[in-house]
Structure 1
Amino acid sequence: MPLPDFHVSEPFTLGIELEMQVVNPPGYDLSQDSSMLIDAVKNEITAGEVKHDITESMLELATDVCRDINQAAGQFSAMQKVVLQAAADHHLEICGGGTHPFQKWQRQEVCDNERYQRTLENFGYLIQQATVFGQHVHVGCASGDDAIYLLHGLSRFVPHFIALSAASPVYAGNGYAFCLLTTEYFFRLSR
């Protein structure tokens, strides 16, 4: 599989994506309502984007390309307010982090999106099991070489990043010997 072209950006700008759980109180099981929430907020989001992730129980909040962390935080704050109100209006709640502790992966509906449907065709039920919730930070670089240099400098902090993300010791109602179950999914999806 060929690598995508590198997209040049202004150095040290950033974009942040945050994957959120859509849950249905009072039991707080995952709800398959992200499409409905996206439709409810699409005209109220003025900066950033609220969009699908792999399954209908996932909602992704993504900033625009921001000049600094303060701009990104402002966009997240505004999106959060709109999304939380829409969720409350539909008797839903939003939460995040790692995995949902008692989800049934068999109930996860993959979004009707060309990319995710193609992923479902390639990986089958494994993609339904990959209903995991994380955060991605994209940092602008002037060239591919600069990006490699930056990654090399950050590589010594990988154990720290993994430790910070250790938020998923329970899955499908079972405790495991993993503090970070999310990486186990992606090992199974690698080819």
Structure 2
Amino acid sequence: MTSPIARPAAPAAPFTVGVEEEFLLLDPRTGESMPVAERVLAALLPADRQHSRKEFRHSMVEMVTPVCTDLAELRGHLLTARRTACRAAREAGARLVSVGATPVCERRRSVPDDPRYHAMSRRFGPVAHDPAVCGCHVHVGVPDRELAVRVCNHLRPWLPVVQALTANSPLHDGCDTGHASWRSMQFDRWPSAGPTPHFDSAADYDATVAQLVAAGVMLDPTMVYWYARPSAAYPTVEVRVGDACPTVDDTVLVAALVRALVATAVARVRAGEPAPRLRGCLVAAAHWRAAHEGLCGELVDLRSGGHRPAWELVDDLLAAVTPALVRHDDLGYVLGQLGRLREEGTGAARQRRVLARTGGDVRAVLDHLAEQTTAG
């Protein structure tokens, strides 16, 4: 009998893609986080509110796109959502900023009044009260859950490169942390976060998650915060390794590459190609290096175990997914945006340039980030 995973890939419609973006609400004068999320969400029109979500901090809002099939459509939804949320933030006296971690400080760290959030606060204590962090989560349609689990295995060597591309949180407590993605350092304090383990099947995945819930590491299966996972809510593979990106085009670039990675992984699974078996400690080391360096140094090449310049690994990723980019008619856009990224650097590199130019003026960095958030 033919396995449902091993069947040949037939010509099909483009893989669908959707994005969830988390944003901080900052005081325009001081840069401190403002606990006005409820006022911001209330200021949204009903049609826009259905694309928003309450988050784990009073200073955060999340905007989500509909399911999309092409990048122009996705870009339009992202830009509209950002500008809509920005207007609502202004009405609440705040400024919407797309950045990975709290850059100055967050005085009110209590969780919103929600039974689940209160349960998380009781279970995880101070970890649940860290300053807010914001991510960019990309969903790619993979309706077969068995296939989705195996796709996540194939993504493991490449997710540190995606993490490096999105690095956009060098600041914490008003200072440069030395890390390109401080969000990654904070987020990894959660016991259910981090690199996705290798799983032999969906049953293996489910059994492992059930054991972690029983061990108290998670309240329930929705607390799987691994960098890639079969979504608990949608028929997708969700990649959640990246910082919130500074511009819409940064987000669309990441979404295009993630969709191409997933499409490439689907083809490899269906061709019967096994995913590489990687040691968890080495995968964790590769992610730490990506969070520390961004694209400004060397990254761990998980295929060889050595260190190589970050942009060489970006080029390798591009080569690996080019057929999928061509299939989706995304190659031209991705090449153009990678060229821009080579010139401008990651969000973290851009923030550091502003710091250097202004003699360490954090407010100038936040002005820059606010402008980039809604630039079209």
Aligned-pair identity in percent equals: 25
1:88 to 68, 87, 90: 90
Indicate conservation of the 8 Å contact 2:24/2:98, yes or no: yes
- Partner of 2:15 in structure 1? 12
Q: Is the 8 A contact 1:169 1:179 kept in 2?
A: yes
Match of 1:151 in 2: 152
- The 8 Å contact of residues 100 and 135 in structure 2, kept in 1 or not, is answered as yes
Query: Secondary structure in 1 aligned to 2:156?
Result: helix
Aligned residue type for 1:94? L
Aligned residues: 180
Q: Matched residues in 1 for 2:159 and 2:92: separation?
A: 39
Richer in helix (by share):
2
Distance 1:93 1:130, change over 3 A: closer
**Counterpart position of 1:7:** none
Determine the structure 2 residue equivalent to 1:50: 52
SS class of match (1:121): helix
Q: In the alignment, what sits opposite 1:61? A: 63
Aligned counterpart for 1:33 among listed residues 27, 36, 44: 36
Q: Which letter maps to 2:156?
A: S
Deviations 1:4-47 (A, max 9, x none): xxxxxx9822221000011111112110001111011042417x
The structure 1 segments of at least 4 consecutive aligned residues displaced by more than 6 Å after TM superposition are none
Conserved? CA contact 1:110–1:120, under 8 Å: yes
Q: Which moved more, 1:48-57 or 1:110-119?
A: 110-119
What residue in structure 2 maps to residue 3 of structure 1? none
- SS of 1:117's equivalent? helix
Query: Secondary structure of the residue that 1:98 maps to in structure 2?
Result: coil
Trace 1:76-115 onto structure 2 (pairs within 5 A).
76-104=78-106, 106-115=107-116
Consecutive unaligned residues of structure 2, counting only runs of 5 or more, are 1-12, 192-216, 218-376
* Per-residue deviation, 1:151: 2.2
Counterpart residue number, 1:171: 172
**Cα deviation, residue 94, structure 1:** 0.3
d(CA) in 2 for partners of 1:91 and 1:165?
A: 28
> Is the contact made by 1:23 and 1:93 (CA closer than 8 Å) also made in structure 2?
yes
- Asked if structure 2 preserves the Cα contact closer than 8 Å seen for 1:99 and 1:171, the reply is yes
Q: Distance in 2 between matches of 1:184 and 1:88?
A: 30
Within a 5 Å distance, the mapping from 1:117-136 to structure 2 comes to 117-129=118-130, 131-136=132-137
AA of the residue aligned to 2:60: M
Change (3 A) 1:177 1:88: closer
Distance in 2 between residues matched to 1:32 and 1:150, nearest whole Å: 38
Structure 2 residue matching 1:148: 3-state secondary structure: helix
Asked if structure 1 preserves the Cα contact closer than 8 Å seen for 2:22 and 2:60, the reply is: yes
Could you tell me which runs of 5 or more consecutive residues in structure 1 were left unpaired when the two chains were aligned: 1-9
Structure 1 stretch 68-77 or stretch 161-170: which is displaced more?
Answer: 68-77
- Aligned with 1:124: secondary structure? helix
1:185 paired residue number: 186
SS in structure 2 at match of 1:150: helix
Distance 1:186 1:100, change over 3 A: closer
1:96–1:134 Cα contact (<8 Å) kept? no
TM-score (norm 1): 0.82
Deviations 1:50-97 (A, max 9, x none): 121110100101112333333332222222232222222333210012
1:139 aligns with 2:174: no
Structure 2 length normalisation: TM-score? 0.44
**Using a 3 Å threshold, how does the CA distance of structure 1 residues 178 and 78 change in structure 2: closer, same or farther?**
closer
Measured in 1, the distance between the counterparts of 2:177 and 2:109 equals 21
Aligned 8 A contact 1:11 1:142 in 2: no
Letter in structure 2 aligned against 1:181: W
Q: CA RMSD in A?
A: 2.3
| Secondary structure in 1 matching 2:72 | helix
SS in 2 for 1:107: coil
User: Counterparts of 1:187 and 1:88 in 2: how far apart (Å)?
Assistant: 32
Q: CA deviation at 1:184?
A: 2.1
